[in-house]
Amino acid sequence: MTEGNFIDYIKIFASSGKGGGGSTHLHREKFITKGGPDGGDGGRGGHVIVKGDKGMWTLHHLRFLKHTRAEEGGHGSKSRSTGKDGEDRYIPVPLGTIVRDADTQEILFEITEHEQEIILVEGGKGGLGNWNFRSSTNQTPRYAQPGMDGIDGWFQMELKILADVGLVGFPNAGKSTLLASITAAKPKIADYAFTTLKPNLGIVEYRNHQSFVMADIPGIIEGASEGKGLGHRFLRHIERNSALLFLIPADSDDINSEYNILLNELRKHNPELLDKERYLAISKCDMLDDELKDEIAKDLPKGIPSMFISSVAQVGLTALKDEIWKLLH
């Protein structure tokens, strides 16, 4: 999946099918010229249904599908035959998709399980045929109910990445390089800020054929919780991670200060993010000798486990995977 194909926000118009009308048919056959009512009910209009698909990672497939319309229900007919239900329309989405009403911004539901199905808009109910209106005083009703109209509206779909570990750091901290080093992911890597504009996912192979999912999320800048930089676009992806791996480069002017800024941006966006397990990795440690490492280690943030790593030199990566596995289990 290329970076340009990652879409985590989409707006669509969904319209359910109208219900079929009931029939006003009166029973007629040879030797029975004035049979009673036998008009059947109309069929239900088709629903528009959102369905979870664990094989999908993006909303890109909906980019050019702005309108989704379900089929109308069939009309009732003679011999009390009910009309055919309208065909439902399915919208497949990745796990972690939130659906909102586009007008009110109310969250309607979330899709978190494979093949989970939730009706977005219900099809109109079919009308009753004249068979239902017969009585002792009205033995040949010549009327029936029309089908109910379907429902339509605009809806927003937002994807929150479901990953075990989210990489948190400033732009150019080495997050993409780390992801490329310990997974098969191929994120765009360059020596300038905001190389990563979309989240990248990679599966980290661990011991005994076990694995966990790591997400490289676009770098935080100070003020991101107010929408600066890439702002809320990346912060919402962090909400679903089980653990957070903070990555700060060894050549940072003040590791403590950077960590506190990152922590503060998460706190302002959603205080519950601070309840997640955290680990601190000091990247680019291949630039340091043992003496410098000892000096830096004395001033690292308190209350969070940490270690030195180098993705380029492959230093500390196995130990880092061990520590992350402990956090997750």
Question: What CATH number does residue 72 fall under?
Answer: 2.70.210.12
Same domain, 4 and 138: yes
Looking at residue 154, what is its pLDDT?
96
Q: Residue with structure tokens 């329309």?
A: 89
φ, ψ for residue 267 (rounded to 5)? Answer: -60, -45
Can you tell me the distance from the alpha carbon of 194 to that of 172, in angstroms, rounded to the nearest whole number? 7
Same domain, 114 and 177: no
Looking at residue 199, what is its pLDDT?
65
User: What is the pTM assigned to this prediction?
Assistant: 0.65
Same domain, 120 and 178: no
Looking at residue 213, what is its pLDDT?
81
- The residue among 142, 159, 176 that closes a domain is 159
The DSSP code for 208 is G
- The residue among 104, 134, 159 that closes a domain is 159
The amino acid at 104? T
Looking at residue 33, what is its pLDDT?
66
pLDDT tens column, 42-95: 999 999 999 999 888 778 888 888 899 999 999 999 888 999 999 999 999 988
Can you tell me the distance from the alpha carbon of 196 to that of 8, in angstroms, rounded to the nearest whole number? 14
Do the Cβ atoms of 25 and 77 come closer than 8 Å? yes
Same domain, 173 and 321: yes
SS3 content of the chain, % helix, strand, coil (to 5): 25, 25, 50
Same domain, 56 and 187: no
pLDDT < 50 stretches in the chain: 1-4, 187-196, 223-231
Strand partners, 9: 158
φ, ψ for residue 77 (rounded to 5)? Answer: -145, -170
Same domain, 124 and 176: no
**What is the span of the domain harbouring residue 143?**
1-159
What would the two tokens of residue 116 be? 């989970």
Looking at residue 204, what is its pLDDT?
81
